[in-house]
Amino acid sequence: MQFSDDEAATLNRILRWRRDVRHFRTDPVPESLLLELRAAMASAPSVGNARPWRVLRVESPDLRAAIRAEFERCNAEAAAAYDDATRAEYARLKLAGLDAAPVQLAVFTVADPAAGRRLGRRTMPQTLQQSTAMAIHALWLAARVRNLGLGMVSILDPDRVCRILKTPDDWIFTAYLCIGWPEFTDDTPLLHRTGWQENAPTVWQKI
């Protein structure tokens, strides 16, 4: 299979417009689209073909409220750790789409799955988490190209999330994702737009 220059340009455009979305409309996402996102996630590479990711679609209002409360607790702790000036900047950021996103996914990594027979992870067990991260990225790009937004909520305590969702002991919390139709789109990351931090160039240093 050979890809064209136009297809390469399209991929670059998708990568540039992939944003960590925080502002969602509440309109539902058709199940047919969610099936396509699941298929995209399933196509992701994984160490030893272990496919260690596990996904819970959180729809219960009580569970969503518990996750929202946990975010508020962690967010308050994070704010308190900054000096006054930085705390004011932090307070102006919108860091979660939990109130509006119609689809919410809790993503976990199985600590030592039988699948893959430990190929490639005996010396680097962290490759299981890296595999889950690649599955999330595949999902993210698939959502974006369908004009959906995805946001990752990282201001959560992993152990508390596991207790809230009553997951098996060998499931490691990896990410909480909000998916839905964005209120607006642009190619400027939120943290750039608000002046929090610009990107540093990626350097491939020769040694």
pTM of this structure: 0.87
Pairing assessment for the beta strands 103-110 and 149-153 based on DSSP bridges: unpaired
What residues contact 104, with CB distance under 8 A and at least 6 apart? Answer: 57, 58, 59, 64, 67, 98, 176, 177, 178, 179
What residues contact 205, with CB distance under 8 A and at least 6 apart? Answer: none
- Cβ-contact 190, 22 below 8 angstroms: yes
- Cβ-contact 6, 160 below 8 angstroms: no
- Print pLDDT tens along the chain (207 aa): 899 999 999 988 888 888 878 889 999 999 999 999 999 999 998 877 779 999 999 999 999 999 999 999 998 888 888 787 777 666 666 657 899 999 999 999 999 888 778 876 888 889 899 999 999 999 999 999 999 999 999 899 999 999 999 999 999 999 999 999 998 777 666 665 666 667 778 888 888
Please count the helices (runs of H) and the strands (runs of E) in the chain. Answer: 7, 4
Assign domain 29-183 to a CATH class. Answer: alpha beta
Element (H, E) at 12: helix 5-17
DSSP 123: S
Which tokens belong to 40? 């995209």
Count of beta carbons in the 10 Å neighbourhood of residue 39: 12
Q: Is the four-CA dihedral 113, 108, 16, 27 of positive or negative sign?
A: positive
